[in-house]
Amino acid sequence: MTGKLRAMTTASSLLTVDLDALAQNYTTMRSLVLPPCKVTAVVKADAYGLGIEQVAKALNAANVRTYFVATIDEAIELRKHTDRKIATLNGFFRGAEKEYLEHDIIPVLCSLDEIDRWTYSKRCFWQVDTGMNRLGLRPHEFDKAFERAHYQPAFIMSHLACADDPAHPKNDQQRKELAAIETRYPLMRYSLANSSGIYLGSEYHFDMVRPGMALYGLNPMPELENPMQNVVTLETRVLQIHESQEGETAGYGATYKFERPAKLATVSLGYADGFLRAGSNQAKLYWQGQPCPVVGRVSMDLIIVDISNLPVNIIPPYEGDFLEVIGPSQSADALAASFGTIGYEVFTSLSRRAERIYKTSSGS
């Protein structure tokens, strides 16, 4: 047996990645900007935990021309799967010059020191810090950078701190900071917008946009209905069905006490799989669209869920069935909210224990 049939017999959890939806989300991003603005793809952290090989294959077919990753190691791995441009967001690592050149990687230079050390060609980007205080040249350093460099960068970039909050004044402040540099150096090309930044409007697009999270189905506009297609479905195996009695407790630390008899399902998922411990007594799994609350602490490999309140017309799960963790009933963003975090952390926390199934119109 292969594909999903094999996974159904051996896997503790199933992670299905819809590559057609991924490609469609990239197409959606392209539809929001006007040529000649370039639309790239951010695939750092193993394509947000979904698997760089298969994701790159799908995005290559969708005609992505430039990729962004975080580190040189990620870039070297990605180079195995694409001949397109690859840039590293986290600067130019000292001592790694050979790797950048050998694998044709574009460094995003973030300091005067990095600009001084990159002596090979103009094939680089510069990052300016317009207000995040994280990485990049300060705006007042730009004149000095151009005086010292023997080349001009292909792009000058910055990164928005509050793009997921359209009303935040920081967005306009950062846009104006980058626009001021553009006024001084009008022949250069510029980039500011991430996924959420694309939705702030065309004045944020400049010459290149860098969508990441939205490609994978996360909501770039948290206060509105998600415009992206769902890419990820995560299901986990039921290991045991049993009854609890009034007064008994669930899990480590006895943090949940049953006030009445309950029917429980123990499932093969825990914090070692990326289901965060913050979901203890908070998160929900779903069976046929019905919520099943987590009771007790999330263990390393196991979760207990209460299936007592399923409607009478729904047959309850049995040992070997799979409960939905992420999917039609619960988005990654909704699950993340129950953890008190964001969808990025949910995706990038997913462990390799889940059997990955890549779904396309031509079959899994």
Closest CA to 178 of 215, 129, 227: 129
Q: Are 239 and 268 in contact (CB under 8 A)?
A: yes
Residue 79 assigned to a binding site: no
Note if 284 is an active site residue: no
**Marked catalytic residue, from 44, 216, 286, 358:** 44
Specify the pairing of strand 303-306 against strand 262-267: antiparallel
Closest CA to 71 of 49, 100, 111, 98: 100
DSSP of 65-120: -EEEESSHHHHHHHHTT--SEEEETT---TT-HHHHHHTT-EEEE-SHHHHHH--S
Predicted confidence (pLDDT) per residue in 188-215, tens digit: 999 999 999 999 999 999 999 999 999 9
The band of 363, judged by pLDDT with boundaries at 50, 70 and 90, is low
Percentage helix, strand, coil, to 5, in the chain?
A: 30, 20, 45
Percent of the chain at pLDDT exceeding 90: 89
Cα first-last separation, the chain: 13
Predicted confidence (pLDDT) per residue in 66-77, tens digit: 999 999 999 999
With a cut of 50, say whether residue 32 has pLDDT above it.
Answer: yes
**Marked catalytic residue, from 122, 144, 252, 257:** 252
Report CA-CA distances (Å) from 163 to 3, 181, 216. 39, 20, 17
Across 18-22, 138-142, 251-255, least confident range: 138-142
- Identify whether 36 is preceded by a cis peptide bond (ω within 30 of 0): yes
276: left (phi over 0), alpha (psi -120 to 50) or beta: beta
Instruction: Set out the domains of the chain in order of their start, with CATH numbers.
Output: 32-216 (3.20.20.10), 232-359 (2.40.37.10)
Predicted confidence (pLDDT) per residue in 213-245, tens digit: 999 999 999 989 999 999 999 999 999 999 999
What type of residue sits at position 117? R
Note if 85 is an active site residue: no
C-beta atoms surrounding 227 within 10 Å: 13
pTM for this entry: 0.94
Predicted confidence (pLDDT) per residue in 51-96, tens digit: 999 999 999 999 999 999 999 999 999 999 999 999 999 999 998 9
Q: Which residue has the higher pLDDT, 160 or 8?
A: 160
CA dist., res. 23 & res. 167, Å (int):
30
Kindly report the length of the chain. Answer: 364
Name the burial class of residue 166, with classes exposed (0-12), middle (13-18) and buried (19+) by CB atoms within 10 angstroms of its CB.
middle
Closest CA to 44 of 85, 19, 75: 75
The band of 151, judged by pLDDT with boundaries at 50, 70 and 90, is confident
Please state the φ and ψ torsions of residue 58, each to the nearest 5 degrees.
-70, -40
Residue 300 assigned to a binding site: yes
Q: Where are the beta strands (DSSP E) in the chain?
A: 13-18, 38-39, 41-42, 66-69, 85-88, 106-109, 125-127, 155-157, 190-191, 208-209, 232-244, 249-250, 256-257, 262-267, 284-287, 290-293, 303-306, 322-326, 355-359
